[in-house]
Structure 1
Amino acid sequence: MRKSYRVKKEAEFQKVFTQGKSYANRQFVVYVLRKSDQLHFRVGISVGKKIGNAVARNWVKRRIRQSLTELKPKLRQEVDFIVIARPAISGASMAETKKNLMHVLRLAHML
């Protein structure tokens, strides 16, 4: 994902957490903040230390990013959202990761 598609600053993360709405399943929690003046969506990805070591966390982040890249044309464009991975996602295949991410994004009315 290009930089323009990322939520990077701590203040932006906090704004999505405090003002946004959350949706969850067993593998992910998604916080969504609608922004009507935005041209395209922005995403932040958070993977905690309960997932595993740095290699495992980066592996999960790469799979989330790849899934979002494949879903990019279907996603709502006027939102900022944060994807938080839960420990249940460690060891999941790419297909399982994408399926679970699509499920939580449907709950959030993003697809």
Structure 2
Amino acid sequence: MKKELRIKKNKDFQTVFQKGKSFANRQFVVYSLSKEDQDYFRIGLSVSKKIGNAVTRNRVKRYIRQSILELKDQLVPGNDYVIIARKPAAEMDFPAVKGSLTHVLKVGKVLKKNGKNQ
């Protein structure tokens, strides 16, 4: 994922938390904040130390990034997203992570039905 598509600053995270809408399932919480002046989406990841050791946390982050990369054509542009992993995400493999993220993004109505109707 390109660097300009990531949220890195604490101020940006806090803005999304305070002003954005949240939706969740068992494995993930996603905060979404619409930005009119932005024609692309940005992603911020939060994986707590409660999830596991560094190897586990990094694997979960890699799976989330790859899932977003594969779903990028379906995501609504112009939004900032912060994805928080919950404990069950540590035991999931890549297809399960992608399926769970797809589900939670559909719940939040930020995922288009398919990537072709843009």
Q: Same fold (TM over 0.5)?
A: yes
Q: Corresponding residue for 1:29?
A: 29
Answering whether residue 41 of structure 2 is matched by residue 49 of structure 1, we say no
**CA displacement 1:12-54 (0-9 Å, x = unmatched):** 0000000001100000000010111101000000000111001
**CA displacement 1:40-86 (0-9 Å, x = unmatched):** 00000000011100110000000000000000111100100100000
Q: 1:110 Cα deviation (Å)?
A: 1.1
The runs of 4+ residues in structure 1 deviating greater than 2 Å are: none
- Tell me the distance in 2 between the aligned counterparts of 1:19 and 1:36: 14
Q: Corresponding residue for 2:38?
A: 38
Which amino acid in 1 is paired with 2:37? D
What SS does the aligned partner of 1:76 have?
A: coil
The unaligned stretches of length 5 or more in structure 2 are: 112-118
Counterparts of residues 78-97 of structure 1 (less than 5 Å): 78-97=78-97
TM-score normalised to structure 1 length: 0.98
Answering whether residue 54 of structure 2 is matched by residue 67 of structure 1, we say no
Q: 1:107 Cα deviation (Å)?
A: 1.1
TM-score normalised to structure 2 length: 0.92
- Tell me the distance in 2 between the aligned counterparts of 1:45 and 1:27: 13
